[in-house]
Amino acid sequence: MPKIQVSRLDLFSLAAMEDPGDERLAELLSLVKGELDSSEGDRLKLELNDTNRPDLWCVEGVARALRCYHGGAEEHLAGLPETDLRIEVDGGLRDVRPFVAAFTACGWAPGGEELEALIEVQEKLAASFGRDRSTAGAGFYRLGEIEFPVSYVAAPPATAFVPLGYQEEMTLERVLEDTETGREYAGILEGAEVYPVLRDASGSILSFPPILNSQTTGRVRPGDSELFCEVTGTDWETVQLMCTILACNLQDRGAEITPVLVEYPDGSPGITAQCPFIFRDTMTAAVEDFRRVLGTRLEPDRIADALDAMDYASVEVAGTSVTGVLPPYRRDGIHAVDMIEDVAISLGLGAFQPLLPDRFTLGRSAPIEELADAVRLLMVGCGFEELLRPVLTSSRKLAGLTKTPAEPVAVANPMTREYGVVRNSLLPGLLEVEAASGHAAYPHRIFETGEVLLADGEGVCSTHVMLSVLVCGNTADFGDVHSVAGSLCHSRGISLKLGPVEDPRFVPGRSAAVILDGRSCGIIGEIHPSVLEGWGITRPAAAMEILLSALRG
C-alpha cells in the first residue's frame, strides 16, 4: 500500500483547518482509506489503503479530502483559458513513448519544503501509478527559459545535451550508460532505435524523458514562480490523469493553471487535446440501490450532501435515481457501487445501525477452491512455484504479445489501458513473469490457478477457474508439460488423452487439445517462437492451460 510522509503544518494549512490532534486525525483519515502510521513532531507518516486513488498519494490530495469534507465540493480546473501554447508530437515516437501532456503553473512560489513535496508527489506517481516511469513519468521546468512551440521528437542516440546534475554535454546513449539515473531506467527504452526528447522552439533540449531533465531549464529552485510541467508515457489515459492530478495539486497551492495544446500527427494513437484533460466520469444509481447495499434508507438530499462532501463535480437527483460526476482527478468509478461506497465513507460507519445476523450459518471453502488447494499441493510437489497475477490486464498482452485467439471482455471506463480488459487466459501473466526472470537460473517452472472471464460471442460471459503451467529453459519441450499433465491426472484418477488443435500461441504439430475423461478442456504445447520473441523471452518454453474443474476426478 502507498505510504507518504507529509508536514503536519503543510497538511492542515492546505486543509484550511486547525490541527485536530492525532486521535481525531486518525478518524478523519478514514475518508481516504488511510491510517496514521506514525507522528514525530511536524512529520506525519500516512499509509493509504486505496490503490485506485493516485490523487491521494500526496499531501495535497489528503488535504483536499479533509477540506471538502468540511466545506463541500470545489471547482477544479474550471474556466481555463484558451491557449496558444503548443507541443508538437513526432510520429516517430509511436512505438517508443508516444504520449505527452503538459500545462504551465504561475503565481505560486514554492519554498524549500513545498518544493520537496512537489518533487515527492511527482516521484510517487511515477513510481507507483506510472509503473516505475515505464507507463508515465513527469518533469518540471522553469517556464521563463522555454520558447514555444515545444516539440516532442524522436532523436538519434548521438543527440547531446547537458543532463541535470552534470556540467558537460552527454549523448543520450551515454546518459543511459554513465549516469546513475540512466542506468536505473535504461530498461524502459531497451531496444529503441530512437529516443524521446523534449525540445523548445530555439532548439534547446528540455529533457530526455523519462530519464533526466536538462541542467538548464530542468533545475527548479525554491522561489521559481513560473513552472512548466510535462508528463510522457506509453498509455494516453495514464499520462492525462497524472497531468490532471498535478495541475489540481498546483492549483490548490495557489498557482494559476494555463493549458497546453498537444498536437498529434495523423495516424498517431494520441488524441489532440488541450491539457490538463478534464475527465468527467459519471455514475448513476437508484435511490433503492443505496438502501439495498447500505442496509438503511437514505433520503436523496442526504445522498447528495454526502457526495458533495466527497468533492463530486456535480450531483443530480432525478426522480428515484442519483447521478454523480467524479472530479477530474478521479477515474476510479467503474460501477454505481463505487458511488454508493463513497456515500458510506462520507457518512461514516457510525451513521449505520448495526444488525445481528438473523440466522446461524457455517462458512467453508467453495468446492472449486478446495480442488484448487489440492492441485496447488500437487504442483508444488512437481517442483513448480505458484504465481498470483491481476485479473485485469491489457489487450496488448493478451492479443498482441500472446496472440490469445478469443476476444477479452473490455472494462467500460478503465483507469488505464494496462488494466483495460478482464483476462480470458492465465498464460500471458506467466509469460510476463518469465520475461522479467531471465536473470534467474534455469529451468523455470511456474503455475497459477485463477479466474478468467470467457465470452460466448453473444454477449453472455461466464467466470471459470483455470490452471496454467509454464516450463522454460534450454531444453524445455512438449514432454515437460505432458509429464505434469500425466502426473496430475494419475493423482486425481482421471484418464488423459490428446487431440488435434490449432492455436497461434503454440508451435503447429507440437501442441494438442487436452481431453480429460472424454471432455476437451484445455491445450498443451510448445510456445510459438514469435510469442516468445514478442515477450523478449530467450529460451524455449512449453505450457498447458486447462479448466480446473476438469480435475475433480
φ, ψ for residue 423, nearest 5 deg: -65, 140
Within 270-335, residue ranges assigned H as helices are 287-294, 300-309
Q: How does pLDDT run across 228-278, given as a tens digit for each residue?
A: 999 999 999 999 999 999 999 999 999 999 999 999 998 888 889 899 999
Q: How far apart are CA 388 and CA 409, in angstroms?
A: 20
Distance between CA atoms of residues 523 and 256, nearest Å: 58
Q: Indicate the helix (H) or strand (E) that contains 48.
A: strand 43-48
Supply the DSSP symbol for 211.
T
CA nearest to 186, candidates 197, 198, 205, 173: 173
> Which residues of the chain, if any, have pLDDT below 70?
1, 415, 553
* 492: Cβ contacts below 8 Å, ≥ 6 apart: 551, 552, 553
Q: What per-residue confidence (pLDDT) applies to 259?
A: 96
- How far is the C-alpha of 35 from the C-alpha of 13, rounded, in Å? 20
Q: Hey, how many other C-beta atoms are within 10 angstroms of the C-beta on 350?
A: 8
Radius of gyration of the chain (CA): 26
Query: How does pLDDT run across 232-245, given as a tens digit for each residue?
Result: 999 999 999 999 99
Euclidean distance between CA atoms 470 and 397, whole angstroms = 16
Q: Say how many C-beta atoms besides its own lie within 10 A of residue 23's C-beta.
A: 8
Q: Kindly state the cell numbers that stand for 511.
A: 501442441
- Per-residue confidence (pLDDT) for residue 377, from 0 to 100: 95
